Structure 1
Amino acid sequence: MIIHQTGVRSRHSALLWTALAALFGSMLSTAQSATAPVAQSITSQPFAATSEGYTCFRIPQPVHTAKGILAIAEARVDHCGDAGDIDLVAKWSADGKTWGPLQLLRGADDDGGYGNPVPVVVDAAEGHVNVLYARNDVVKGKRSQI
């Protein structure tokens, strides 16, 4: 699976998706038998810049489970900078080509920044995933970490 993102700072995101896809692909290929068919690479875009009410998406994290692929990302509201109103969002895909609707994980109706998502697969067979993240408060132009 190769997933590309277009838009602001997309080359870095595309490189990250490509590197993660290569990592997951190599892990999957070593787990399969030597006679198993080679998996076909897929180009897909779960998040697109300036769409779904966000300026850009950063720090994409794909997670493979038996039920499909979960894509988690930072959704930057006002700009693509590292400090500001940042939500955590996710999309599911059963086939790696098409993606379901955007789901808001954290950040609704507040000015805080939620970022650096780290998905941890709790139960791959059932598709249970926990997401660890960092949070910053942005209050009157000052930033404080929690």
Structure 2
Amino acid sequence: MDGFDAHQRQMETLCGRLELIADLLPDQADPTLCKFTSDGIVKTLSDAQAFEEKELFPALQALSLLETDMKEIFAQLREEHYEDLCFAEEVRDNLRAIIEGHPSQSANATGYMLRGFFEKLRRHMAYERYLVSALRTKKAPGTPDAS
């Protein structure tokens, strides 16, 4: 499962940056950090989601790790991906508005939005780590190593 750990690290870094920005609002938000984060948020998230859908989901499906219908679980996760991507675009736009000096909402509202976003991502990532740990312990014969 080449790439999983790298995507997890990138997502954790993104969440850490968003948390720092939220902590520094309203008066100490670093424009450089806001710009760097806003520039990369959608790509980082979409790259991780593409990996999950093309690599992780098929590997999990092949092993039938859960006793339920995996198709329903993956459909739910794909819906969450779409919602997360829309949310990421909204976060990006709000960060850019801060950089430009024309915030579209109060600092409290932006901080609340950032926290809602990165906490949701962290829950999603924790669930994925759970699934991957199962994948790593229950490998089918001939299945590549999940590391």
TM-score, with structure 1 as normaliser: 0.28
- More helix per residue: 1 or 2? 2
TM-score normalised by length of structure 2 = 0.28
Larger relative contact order (Cα-Cα within 8 Å, sequence gap ≥ 6): 2
Q: Which has the larger radius of gyration?
A: 2
Normalized per residue, the structure richer in strand is: 1
